């Protein structure tokens, strides 16, 4: 019985430790965006020709209607399906634009991808990840006219805010709000 009680205590203490750790605030991402200042994005969809130029954050809160407009722009154009993109992704884009001194809109190559579209692209040899962050509204592939891709990549890496993929042969950089990593 003593061995079982010891095991039970360890299990309960371990579970309690996990709950406490989960309740603690995560490490804040220090993006180079002024606190309390509005955030704007100007984006163009390479696939649909649509454009959005919005103030999506008013300095205190995200603006729902503006997020809806960005989410529509970032939709899976093949299926005409949109999702709620992670607003932190838009914050990363705004921070990257600031870091590179962008004078032109962001050109989005790929935003949200439905699971069906992602699987179709994978089967056609496109190299998409099976559990792509594009399917959860946490990733975007993009470039900014007249800004070298290497500069965009460097800016994205400096944020340490998620994944950064560099695709110079395809002409875009991938960012996501998943774990910090690069390829």
List, for residues 84-111, the tens digit of each pLDDT value. Answer: 999 999 999 999 999 999 999 999 999 9
What pLDDT was estimated at residue 34?
Answer: 78
List, for residues 152-170, the tens digit of each pLDDT value. Answer: 999 999 999 999 999 999 9
What pLDDT was estimated at residue 114?
Answer: 95
Cβ partners under 8 Å of residue 158, min gap 6? 99
What pLDDT was estimated at residue 66?
Answer: 98
What pLDDT was estimated at residue 55?
Answer: 98
Residue 40: strand pairing partners: 55
What pLDDT was estimated at residue 24?
Answer: 39
What pLDDT was estimated at residue 131?
Answer: 83
Each domain of the chain, given as residue ranges in start order, spans 32-182
Sheet strands (E) in the chain: 39-45, 51-57, 106-110, 139-144, 163-167, 172-176, 181-182
CATH number of 32-182: 3.30.1380
CA distance to 41, 110, 152, per residue, from 96 (Å): 11, 17, 7
pLDDT at 81 exceeding the cut of 80: yes
Please give the structure tokens belonging to residue 169.
């042969």
pLDDT at 4 exceeding the cut of 60: no
What pLDDT was estimated at residue 36?
Answer: 87
pLDDT at 29 exceeding the cut of 80: no
Higher pLDDT, 29 or 53: 53
In DSSP notation, 6-28 reads: HHHHHHHHHHHHHHHHHHSPPPP
What proportion of the chain, given as a percentage, has pLDDT over 70?
A: 84
First-residue to last-residue Cα distance in the chain: 51
List, for residues 96-151, the tens digit of each pLDDT value. Answer: 999 999 999 999 999 999 999 988 888 887 777 778 999 999 999 999 999 999 99
- As a whole number, the mean pLDDT across the chain is 87
User: What are the phi and psi torsion angles at 167 (to 5°)?
Assistant: -125, 70
Q: How far apart are CA 9 and CA 15, in angstroms?
A: 10
Helix (H, G, I), strand (E, B) or coil at 144: strand
């Amino acid at each position: 019985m003593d061995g079982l009680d010891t095991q039970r205590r360890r299990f309960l203490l371990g579970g309690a430790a996990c709950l406490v750790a989960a309740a603690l605030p995560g490490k804040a991402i220090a993006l180079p965006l002024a606190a309390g200042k509005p955030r704007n994005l100007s984006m163009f969809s390479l696939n649909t020709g649509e454009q959005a130029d919005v103030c999506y954050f008013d300095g205190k809160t995200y603006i729902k209607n503006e997020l809806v407009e960005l989410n529509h722009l970032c939709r899976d154009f093949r299926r005409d399906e949109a999702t709620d993109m992670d607003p932190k992704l838009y914050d990363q884009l705004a921070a990257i634009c600031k870091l590179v001194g962008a004078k032109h809109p962001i050109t989005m190559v790929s935003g949200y991808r439905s699971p069906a579209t992602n699987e179709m692209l994978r089967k056609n040899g496109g190299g998409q990840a099976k559990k792509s962050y594009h399917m959860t509204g946490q990733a975007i592939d993009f470039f900014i006219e007249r800004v070298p891709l290497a500069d965009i990549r460097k800016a994205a890496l400096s944020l340490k805010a998620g994944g950064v993929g560099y695709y110079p042969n395809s002409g875009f950089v991938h960012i996501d709000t998943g774990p910090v990593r690069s390829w």
